[in-house]
Amino acid sequence: MILEARDLAKDYGPVRALRGVSLALERGETLGIVGESGCGKSTLARLLVRLEEPTRGRIEFDGVDLTALHGRRLRERRRRIQMVFQDPYASLDPRQTVGGAIAEVLRVHDLARGAGRVAELLGMVGLAAGHADRYPHELSGGQRQRVSVARSLAAEPVVLILDEPVSALDVSVRAEVMNLLVRLRDELGLSYVFISHDLSMVRHLSDRIAVMYLGRVVELGPWDAVLDVPLHPYTGALRDAMPVPDPELEAGRVDAPIRGEVPNPAAPPSGCPFHPRCPLAEEICREIRPELLELLPAHAAACHVAAREVSAVRSA
């Protein structure tokens, strides 16, 4: 286990953005995290790289409690967990050349310096050494995101937190950047936490998928099990909202599979937080919040109805 969040919570005043999330990332694994905006997935990402402090809970990296470290020891560990943001333009300084931006990371972390390493990092992300002299505005969106990835790799991470890394890119270059991320993961033995609002985006490279709703994980399991037999109605609705490659099937789809809006996280519904939007909601759902339970091997969900149905099938 390389990275583990235990009972992680984050409050912003009355808004409880994250409400007790426990997740573990194995070495070499990609864990996809999916949910609508406001579900807490980006808050989780910021906590994992220690851009923010958790209100409660702990984060262990390679067996060491990151929340208890300070100063140089924290900086050294934190370097090993890097983040790639959605908007590469925002994370690059427009007045700094590509080479300057990468060299800055090497300098800050006191790692191998010189033009050779910068060229090597550019080559790893499919850019030419000559790109080092360019400014961000001289690059395409896809090239800028490649530079962001090279910048993250300059810190020699073992874990990358990818927060919607291709969502801001043209559809035509998304696949290229996704393929690059898969290649880098396999070649460098990296572990990924891949965050997206779009289930179809994470399924291609995730080993497991965690589905989040209103600050909690509501389903967690192997990617194919989560997609083929979603246990939680919210996951089922996200799956049904995925684009269908066949235009005829697309034309016959029922629209708006998820009715209603995400509730206000400052005043979440009683019981199961999904109950106001859930087509299967029963009386118990309005009163008692379901716990995340392993209902099938390595496949957990927080749903009263799913728990009952799985246990009925098992005892039949």
Residues at the contact surface with ligand SF4, assessed by CB under 6 A: 232-233, 272, 274-275, 278, 280-281, 285, 290, 303-305
Q: Return the axis-axis angle of helices 98-108 and 141-154, rounded to nearest 10°.
A: 20
- The one-letter code for the residue type at 185 is R
CB 39 within 8 A of CB 212: yes
CB 49 within 8 A of CB 94: no
In angstroms, what is the minimal distance from the CB of 288 to ligand SF4?
9
In angstroms, what is the minimal distance from the CB of 282 to ligand SF4?
6
In angstroms, what is the minimal distance from the CB of 287 to ligand SF4?
10
In angstroms, what is the minimal distance from the CB of 285 to ligand SF4?
3
Q: State which residue, 116 or 279, has the beta carbon closest to ligand SF4.
A: 279
Q: State which residue, 203 or 304, has the beta carbon closest to ligand SF4.
A: 304
Cα distances (angstroms) measured from residue 304 to each of 78, 191, 226, 272: 39, 33, 17, 9
Residue with tokens 């559809």: 171
Instruction: Give the CA-trace dihedral at 2, 77, 183, 121, to 10 degrees.
Output: -170
For residue 191, report the phi and psi dihedrals to the nearest 5 degrees: -115, 140
- Residues contacting residue 182 through CB under 8 Å, at least 6 positions apart: 204, 205
Q: State which residue, 8 or 281, has the beta carbon closest to ligand SF4.
A: 281
Q: State which residue, 299 or 304, has the beta carbon closest to ligand SF4.
A: 304
Q: State which residue, 147 or 305, has the beta carbon closest to ligand SF4.
A: 305
In angstroms, what is the minimal distance from the CB of 195 to ligand SF4?
22
